[in-house]
């Protein structure tokens, strides 16, 4: 009786395991590449649609935006207007804000203006008010809403005045009252000349002399 010998079982060929790993990796890369081929075109299409929508929106909104009005008023903050009168004396006009009239560039609306006359002299005169209109072409200043003139010859209050920066004449046809070098005075109209050196009051004048 013949002896039974062991039959050898075929083993795994050399390199088969590494080939299987390589095949698995290749399949994974293939699936990734296939997925990217599907996703990337879709993503690019979404970007293109978004850009097109943004361009269309900007085009529509730009047409809806009203054009900037070239005639809009010019507003200045803390403006300074300087000049000299007919005798060469300097004056300075300031205000909180100033707005140029869009219909007349030479007319300026002032908020709480302050006019200082003879700024280089020993006794400058100050005129303040709540509002004013300065005409740059004529040099005339309309002041209103609590006008006060103060200087070396006293202080006076009125509702409105018209001042000429060239002649330095201040006139008004409304009530005025104040305290001058000779005492208190009230009148219906007035005129101030020569930088306050000469004052003329008319209409229902009432005065109270101040004894020296």
Query: Could you tell me the CATH number of the domain that includes residue 177?
Result: 2.60.450.10
Predicted pLDDT at 127: 94
Question: Is residue 75 within 8 Å of residue 98, measured between CB atoms?
Answer: yes
54 and 93 both lie in a single domain: no
The reply to whether 111 and 56 lie within a common domain is no
Largest CA distance in the chain: 167
Residues 117 and 164 grouped into a single domain: yes
- What is the predicted pLDDT for the residue at 46? 79
In a domain, 25, yes or no: yes
pLDDT of residue 192: 86
CA distance 110 to 107: 10
**pLDDT given at position 122:** 85
Name the token pair of 44: 């690019």
Instruction: Please tell me the predicted confidence (pLDDT) of residue 54.
Output: 78
Q: Would you state the structure tokens that stand for residue 191, as one six-digit string?
A: 């005129």
Residue 159: per-residue pLDDT: 95
Q: State the CB neighbour count (10 A cutoff) for residue 61.
A: 9
Task: Tell me the C-alpha distance between 53 and 14, whole Å.
Answer: 60
H or E segment at 171?
Answer: strand 169-172
Give the C-alpha separation, 78 to 113, whole Å. 10
Does residue 131 share a domain with residue 179?
yes
| Contact status, residue 165 vs residue 83, Cβ threshold 8 Å | yes
Domain containing residue 122: 75-209
pLDDT reported for residue 175:
93
pLDDT per residue of the chain (212 residues) written in tens, 0 to 9: 445 555 555 555 556 667 777 777 777 777 777 766 777 778 787 788 888 777 777 766 655 545 555 567 788 899 999 988 888 889 999 999 999 999 898 999 999 999 998 888 888 889 999 999 999 999 999 999 999 998 887 899 999 999 998 888 999 999 999 887 778 889 999 998 877 778 888 988 887 766 55
130 and 36, same structural domain? no
pLDDT of residue 6: 52
Task: Let me know if residue 6 belongs to a domain.
Answer: no
**pLDDT confidence of residue 119:** 85
Beta strands in 78-139 (DSSP E): 80-84, 90-94, 97-101, 104-111, 114-117, 125-128, 131-135
Element housing 18 (H / E):
helix 16-64
- Domain shared by 43 and 104, yes or no: no
Count Cα atoms within 13 angstroms, Cβ side, for 13: 4
- Looking at the structure, tell me whether residues 187 and 159 fall in a common domain: yes
**CB-count exposure of residue 17 (10 Å: 0-12, 13-18, 19+):** exposed
Considering the domain architecture, whether residues 35 and 106 belong to the same structural domain is answered as no
5: in domain: no
Determine the pLDDT at residue 80: 93
Domain co-membership, 82 together with 36: no
9 lies in some domain: no
Shared-domain flag, residues 148 and 187: yes
């Amino acid at each position: 009786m013949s002896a039974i010998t062991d039959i050898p079982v075929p083993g795994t060929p050399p390199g088969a395991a590494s080939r299987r790993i390589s095949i698995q990796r290749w399949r994974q890369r293939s699936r990734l590449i296939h997925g990217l081929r599907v996703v990337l075109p879709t993503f690019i299409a979404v970007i293109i649609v978004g850009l097109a929508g943004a361009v269309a929106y900007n085009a529509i909104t730009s047409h809806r935006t009203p054009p900037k009005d070239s005639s809009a008023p010019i507003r200045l903050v803390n403006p300074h207007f300087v000049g000299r009168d007919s005798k060469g004396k300097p004056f300075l006009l300031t205000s909180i804000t100033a707005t140029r009239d869009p219909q007349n560039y030479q007319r300026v609306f002032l908020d709480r203006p302050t006019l200082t006359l003879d700024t280089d002299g020993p006794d400058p005169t100050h005129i303040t008010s709540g509002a004013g209109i300065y005409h740059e072409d004529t040099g005339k200043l309309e002041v209103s809403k609590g006008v006060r003139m103060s200087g070396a010859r006293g202080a006076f209050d009125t509702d409105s005045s018209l001042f000429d920066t060239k002649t330095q004449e201040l006139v008004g046809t409304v009530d005025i009252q104040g305290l001058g070098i000779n005492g208190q005075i009230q009148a219906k109209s007035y005129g101030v000349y020569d930088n306050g050196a000469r004052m003329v009051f008319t209409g229902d004048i009432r005065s109270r002399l101040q004894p020296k």
